[in-house]
Structure 1
């Protein structure tokens, strides 16, 4: 077997990490090395890999420790039976790469995952060693996201959460029976138990009134990822699983990753990836559930898929035309959040503005960018939608026209 140099390893293991979507750094506490102490920062700008909710652009070195794996998950390019180039970093190589890239202003943090080598405990030990050396030996104060191995011992999982800002355990697939079929070495119960242990650790560290607080335990929380389109789960089932995960484990985010066919794929998996728009609509629906007060059944009941042509908020509004138009001068905040074209920040600005005067169309234009999308659904001091109420007409108006085949 040829010996790979560091550049070749980086090429293989950075490419292998692209299938994991859960690398946003939202929620990390600000730390920096100003004043001559420590190395790294969670603040600033760099090569964009992820965006935080406040709009900051955060660059992360996103790699696998190794793409060797003893498991044979049918949907994974790194499965043991896959014919793919293999590579492995040592823990010291990952530490050196992270520090070297940070000092060149290429990155602001590290996202580190791995295939399973030897055992879950052995793999988790190597991941923890990277984070521990960065924090304790080099006083690295940048962002660290570690992927946890659910089969690893609780002591190793706890150690990882004490060094990392965020940890994540992938739920993999929306349905337990799909996981059993496509990833027989993995156990949905073990995954949920590990996620539950992380939640308990986070809550213990945040318990109010404690005089002797333990070290911060995954201060940016935990996240997970589901593969979309590998099994027959509907969007309603996917969102239902997400809602239960948010409620049971206090997750910061559920990430959705469209299944990507891989070489020598199992015949039980689809030959093509689902439309990327499906992944986008799931993220929009997830946002509605977390920040706009929508229930899963309102967006996509079990067994149903999201409309790919229009966003889920508009789709809900067209199915519930009896709730519109909404008087923007009178409606409460919960009602305003359900108006297509109104975001959470726009709602807050509207509420503040109407305390001073009754809102008119010109006021709405200054506050919101999507005025044409709003007009059929709202009433103002000088505006009523009139004939702009037909649901079919509105759908045709806001749905993008299908692309025409090119002759060239």
Structure 2
């Protein structure tokens, strides 16, 4: 099989992995003439976006889609009837370098099915990164998928060359993983996450205490994971509780949510219909509230329902459930309170706090502060504006929700 055909198969097989981020690493480039590639933004085919909006193009492939495991939700499982292919280490290295030189990519996202054993697979993945860094002096972004059962020394070596490492938790519940991916062990996954956190903490401490010599690098962009949504009956509350535990226990950079997509030759144990993609979107919004807006996982989802509403975004849904906290006086509210106002983003809140030190904020100022008036006004008090006291009560609440949907808020 020629390399072009392998690329078609293995790039397509990699599309189901959503944890293809490229943010958070150190800045490197080849302007000093000592290497090849850059982690700075460039032009090319877009594959992912950094939190600051930069477009980062990555070559996203599997080393092979042949796999010893038979995870029911995976199109590459051993019992799946799909075309198989496998790159050699040198082929992936050459593709990465060639694509970079053509200005198609800034980096590489590499994962793999399990071949022979976890150690053998991990060694092959690490070999790609080692050759890129040491033989070709590649300074672009490298994201490697980690095999949980692999030897600790291989994982440590992966961190030496990769910018980010990721291990997929796959399912929000342990019994779901046992049912749908019997060869995988959630305890092994969490042990590896724990070992990665220790190595990341150690690397951070070494950077902070270093005086002269630059300490060895270890995955400067941290670790991430992915959960598949809609395969089992886990509620949104359960999913967010699991994410909160992962963030707290292992200091993950990101948890990615991937809505289950029906696959060829699917097992009867799998759902016949994919969950709405809007559910995946709402989970990302809720995740953002946990990470940047000070929300706890338990307060984002209505306890009685266990699911995020699809018709409005989680922040607006929370505000409507807590109408007693509004309207909020923008001139005196704390930063934590302002972050909970629908329509107020982090940058907008910072601009509000800076502005109110100098002057009273009025209705006309919202446009200059880049705040959507129609979404925020029912929840705030300004120097020259106060909303109707009954706007968010009873029928007023329903009228507001209806108007918000018409205006596209929450979608």
TM-score normalised according to structure 2 size: 0.95
- 1:13 corresponds to which of 10, 15, 33: 10
Are 2:61 and 2:110, in contact at CA under 8 Å, matched by a contact in 1?
A: yes
Answering whether residue 340 of structure 2 is matched by residue 338 of structure 1, we say yes
CA distance in 2, matches of 1:54, 1:20: 22
- 1:380 corresponds to which of 379, 382, 385: 382
Cα deviations across residues 174-205 of structure 1 (Å, max 9, x unaligned)? 00000000111000000000010000001001
Partner of 1:406: none
- 1:351 corresponds to which of 353, 369, 373: 353
Indicate how the Cα distance of structure 1 residues 249 and 12 shifts in structure 2: closer, same or farther if over 3 A, else same. same
Q: How many pairs does the alignment contain?
A: 399
CA distance in 1, matches of 2:405, 2:104: 40
Question: 1:152-163 maps to which residues of 2 (within 5 A)?
Answer: 152-163=150-161
Partner of 1:405: none
CA distance in 2, matches of 1:244, 1:301: 19
CA distance in 2, matches of 1:270, 1:216: 43
Are 1:346 and 1:367, in contact at CA under 8 Å, matched by a contact in 2?
A: yes
Partner of 2:275: 274
Question: 1:138-153 maps to which residues of 2 (within 5 A)?
Answer: 138-153=136-151
CA distance in 2, matches of 1:295, 1:395: 24
TM-superposed deviation, 1:91: 0.4
Question: 1:91-240 maps to which residues of 2 (within 5 A)?
Answer: 91-207=89-205, 208-210=208-210, 214-240=215-241
TM-superposed deviation, 1:400: 4.8
Are 2:339 and 2:345, in contact at CA under 8 Å, matched by a contact in 1?
A: yes
Which stretch of the first structure deviates more once superposed, 347-356 or 299-308?
299-308
Answering whether residue 326 of structure 2 is matched by residue 320 of structure 1, we say no
CA distance in 2, matches of 1:236, 1:285: 10
Unmatched runs of 5 consecutive residues or more in structure 1? 403-408
SS at match of 1:399: helix
Which stretch of the first structure deviates more once superposed, 386-395 or 77-86?
386-395
Answering whether residue 298 of structure 2 is matched by residue 297 of structure 1, we say yes
Cα deviations across residues 232-282 of structure 1 (Å, max 9, x unaligned)? 000000000000000000100000000011111111110011000000000
Are 1:309 and 1:400, in contact at CA under 8 Å, matched by a contact in 2?
A: no
TM-superposed deviation, 1:381: 0.6
TM-score normalised according to structure 1 size: 0.96
Unmatched runs of 5 consecutive residues or more in structure 2? none
TM-superposed deviation, 1:103: 0.5
CA distance in 2, matches of 1:321, 1:259: 35
Are 1:67 and 1:88, in contact at CA under 8 Å, matched by a contact in 2?
A: yes
TM-superposed deviation, 1:365: 2.0
Are 2:308 and 2:314, in contact at CA under 8 Å, matched by a contact in 1?
A: yes
CA distance in 2, matches of 1:210, 1:177: 44
